[in-house]
């Protein structure tokens, strides 16, 4: 009898049931089994995993468990209820679906459990539930039975969101690593402190580095083991809902980093889940990531594609998330990504494009937008792949936005040159306009720029301390005026000194000092103005919303341009990346009228030198040129009165 020798003959005949057999407490119907096989089950979390069952009077009956493990010889449920004994509760396989299930009476919320899975080779491995919605606190790895009782209060927000047109709205994102924003805070404590701070700083959205459960803290959440569970480090799933709800109540949207590109090799998690390469490719040329030491999903398998799309929909549905930023898209799109010749397998057409990953991304974006109008799907994609934000019906990937890594790289590289040499690199600060409307872009100054020896933003720039902070303020004024949505990593808004460390909190004590207070106040006021000035966002995705005024004055380190709204109202932005002020600078304006400074990052209130302008009258309709004062290392915005 081989692997089943421990069972009686009667036991073994009941290990497999026809698909039509469903126990009265099963979470699976015939339609569920069909949709799972087809890879089309958009609410997979309601079919698989652990589900508490109650009677009509809400009394606990027990918990139903189900798991997809098609190549397993046997599966047992182990946990607190049976002292982790795999010989106690043998799960039943439903026909040829590859799904195993069991119902355990009288156990419910808080029960810890795993699936003991016997692979083809007869080896038993204890795995966490691939569909678990709650987990133990790492480094413990068991799944936990969860049943939400949270009552949302954001119906007005969700209703309003359905009409949200993100591409022509202000979007200013504060990127946050929950564990190190302030050390030791729970989800519910963050719902007070983080919410108050983000509201005061004027950001429209927060973006959380992955909250999906992960065993290794220094991965920052990017090595995910539970794609349906918020990390238990800061509280329960309902506590995380409380945080999202509080952000919505404050008028702040929530974006999550979502990681479908890869997963870690931990034996207790997804790796060789049923004794075979189930979620990953068996061929290491397709199934292993050489840089990160992780496994790559088999995007071409229906059930795996369904697992990932359902994960995306889960966060949007159950946690009311307003957008997903998809990590490492470039690594998904190219079969030869970070591989040498002979280390990758071409697609069926002989090319390097991962056609199965393209299909997965298209399905994820199109389904997300179809089911949740008004959300944002954002790609972290660092190559020149065409059509990242083009509609899927036109062959695009269907994202709403793409991170503009080229802008980030060029501008930071430009600012790291000594100002006297910037004249030779002027194209680095202007080149982005040549492709600014090839995609819908978001401008990121993210966590990636302040780790791994790169230092903090403020310390990338040459000069003394005043010049460094002045350059940072000038950069923010330039960035918020430049076409594209905005993203800034925590700590950068007050010019943190030390490189970000996930195990240490931000240097909040610095905000007691003038130069840091000045940058912090500058960012808050830039955000406030940004939201009030449609010229900066209504035509973000159209070249009609931008006009160069000064694009070739590299000798003075000056750039100037106009932004336009739907009504033809302009805003003028001038940036001087030189430490020398320019008095009586001849600046072309787009129209006649009286122009007033609405932002000057050299303001004394921000720690600047205080070189400002009185209202500027532009009366000559032929030349439209006026003399202005441009402070050192500063950005000015002019609005027509």
327, 381, 493, 515: which is the annotated catalytic residue? 327
Residues of each domain in the chain carrying CATH 2.60.40.10: 2-144
**In angstroms, rounded to a whole number, what is the distance separating the alpha carbons of residues 550 and 554?**
10
Residue 295: DSSP 8-state: E
Helix (H, G, I), strand (E, B) or coil at 73: coil
**In angstroms, rounded to a whole number, what is the distance separating the alpha carbons of residues 634 and 579?**
9
Question: Top-level CATH class of 169-490+518-532?
Answer: alpha beta
Nearest CA-CA partner of 367 in 40, 34, 586: 40
Q: The whole model's pTM is what?
A: 0.94
Give the contacts of 219 (CB within 8 A, at least 6 positions apart). 264
> In sequence order, what are the beta bridge partners of 550?
560
Distances (CA, A) of 366 to 171, 224, 304, 307, 388: 21, 23, 17, 16, 13
175, 380, 381, 449: which is the annotated catalytic residue? 380
- C-alpha Rg value of the chain to the nearest Å: 27
Residue 12 confidence (pLDDT): 37
Residues of each domain in the chain carrying CATH 2.60.40.1180: 543-640
**In angstroms, rounded to a whole number, what is the distance separating the alpha carbons of residues 127 and 116?**
6
Residues of each domain in the chain carrying CATH 3.20.20.80: 169-490+518-532
CATH code for the part of the protein at 543-640: 2.60.40.1180
| Preceding amide of 302 cis, omega within 30 | no
Fold category of 2-144 in CATH: Immunoglobulin-like (2.60.40)
- 3 state SS for 373-393: CCCEEEECCCCCCCCCCCCHH
CB of 101 closer than 8 Å to CB of 66: yes
The string of DSSP codes covering 159-206 is HHHTT--GGGS--EEEEE-HHHHSTT--HHHHHHHHHHHHHHHT-SEE
**In angstroms, rounded to a whole number, what is the distance separating the alpha carbons of residues 35 and 386?**
32
**In angstroms, rounded to a whole number, what is the distance separating the alpha carbons of residues 36 and 34?**
6
Nearest CA-CA partner of 448 in 259, 222, 293: 222
**In angstroms, rounded to a whole number, what is the distance separating the alpha carbons of residues 234 and 253?**
20
Q: How far apart are the first and last CA of the chain?
A: 88
**In angstroms, rounded to a whole number, what is the distance separating the alpha carbons of residues 27 and 133?**
15
Residue 623 confidence (pLDDT): 80
Residue 18 confidence (pLDDT): 52
> Active-site residue 448, yes or no?
no
**Residue ranges for the chain with pLDDT beneath 50:** 1-14, 19-21
> Active-site residue 245, yes or no?
no
**In angstroms, rounded to a whole number, what is the distance separating the alpha carbons of residues 577 and 471?**
7
Residue 22 confidence (pLDDT): 53
Distances (CA, A) of 4 to 1, 10, 55, 139: 6, 11, 35, 33
Distances (CA, A) of 385 to 17, 30, 87, 331, 451: 48, 41, 52, 12, 26
Q: Which two tokens stand for residue 153?
A: 């209060």
Residue 399 confidence (pLDDT): 98
Spell out where 390-523 has E strands.
Answer: 401-403, 441-445, 485-489
């Amino acid at each position: 009898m081989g692997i089943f020798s421990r069972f009686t003959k009667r036991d073994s005949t009941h290990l497999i049931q026809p698909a039509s057999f469903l126990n009265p407490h099963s979470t699976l119907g015939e339609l569920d089994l069909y949709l799972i096989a087809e890879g089309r089950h958009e609410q997979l979390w309601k079919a698989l995993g652990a589900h508490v069952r109650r009677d009509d009077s809400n009394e606990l009956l027990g918990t139903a468990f189900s798991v997809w493990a098609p190549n397993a010889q046997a599966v047992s449920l182990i946990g607190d209820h049976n002292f982790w004994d795999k010989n106690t509760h043998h799960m039943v396989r439903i026909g040829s679906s590859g799904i195993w299930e069991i119902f355990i009476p009288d156990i419910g919320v808080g029960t810890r459990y795993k699936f003991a899975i016997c692979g083809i080779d007869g080896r038993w491995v204890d795995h966490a539930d691939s569909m678990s919605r709650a987990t133990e606190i790492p480094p413990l790895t068991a799944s936990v039975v969860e049943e939400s009782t949270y009552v949302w209060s954001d119906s007005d927000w969700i209703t309003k969101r359905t009409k949200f047109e993100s591409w022509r709205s202000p979007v200013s994102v504060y990127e946050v690593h929950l564990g190190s924003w302030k050390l030791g805070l729970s989800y519910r404590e963050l719902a007070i402190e983080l919410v108050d701070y983000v509201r005061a700083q004027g950001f429209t959205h927060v973006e959380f580095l992955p909250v999906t459960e992960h065993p290794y803290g220094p991965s920052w959440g990017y090595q995910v083991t539970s794609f349906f569970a918020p990390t238990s480090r800061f509280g329960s799933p309902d506590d995380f809902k409380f945080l999202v709800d509080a952000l919505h109540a404050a008028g702040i949207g929530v974006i999550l980093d979502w990681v479908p590109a890869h997963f870690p090799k931990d034996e207790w998690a997804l790796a060789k889940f049923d004794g075979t390469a189930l979620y990953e490719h068996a061929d290491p040329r397709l199934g292993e990531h050489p840089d990160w030491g992780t496994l790559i999903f088999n995007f071409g398998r229906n059930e795996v594609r369904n697992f990932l799309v359902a994960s995306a929909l889960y966060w949007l549905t159950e946690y009311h998330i307003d957008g997903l930023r998809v990590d490492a898209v470039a690594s998904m799109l190219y079969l030869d990504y970070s591989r040498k010749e002979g280390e990758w397998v071409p697609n069926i057409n002989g090319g390097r494009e991962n056609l199965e990953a393209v299909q997965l991304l298209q399905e994820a974006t199109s389904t997300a937008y179809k089911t949740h109008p008004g959300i944002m799907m954002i790609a972290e994609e660092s190559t020149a792949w065409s059509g990242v934000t083009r509609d899927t019906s036109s062959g695009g990937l269907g994202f709403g936005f793409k991170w503009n890594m080229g802008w980030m790289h060029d501008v930071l590289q430009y600012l790291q040159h000594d100002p006297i040499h910037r004249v030779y690199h002027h194209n680095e600060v202007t080149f982005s306009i040549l492709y600014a409307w090839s995609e819908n872009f978001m401008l990121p100054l993210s966590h990636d720029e302040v780790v791994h020896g790169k230092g903090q933003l403020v310390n990338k720039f040459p000069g003394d301390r005043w010049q460094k902070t002045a350059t940072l303020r000038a950069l923010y004024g330039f960035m918020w005026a430049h076409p594209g949505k905005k993203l800034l990593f925590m700590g950068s808004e007050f010019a943190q000194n030390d490189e970000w460390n996930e195990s240490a909190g931000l240097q909040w004590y610095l905000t007691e000092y003038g130069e840091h207070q000045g940058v912090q106040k500058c960012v808050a006021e830039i955000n406030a103005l940004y939201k009030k000035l449609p010229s900066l966002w209504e035509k973000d995705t159209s070249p009609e919303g931008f006009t160069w005024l000064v694009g070739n004055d590299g000798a003075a380190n000056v750039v100037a341009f106009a932004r336009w709204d739907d009504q033809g109202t302009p805003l003028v932005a001038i940036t001087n990346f030189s430490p020398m002020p320019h008095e009586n600078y001849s600046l072309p304006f787009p129209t006649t009228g009286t122009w007033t400074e609405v932002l000057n990052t050299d303001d004394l209130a921000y720690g600047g030198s205080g070189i400002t302008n009185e209202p500027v009258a532009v009366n000559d309709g032929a030349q439209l040129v006026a003399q202005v004062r441009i402070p050192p290392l500063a950005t000015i915005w002019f609005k027509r009165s």
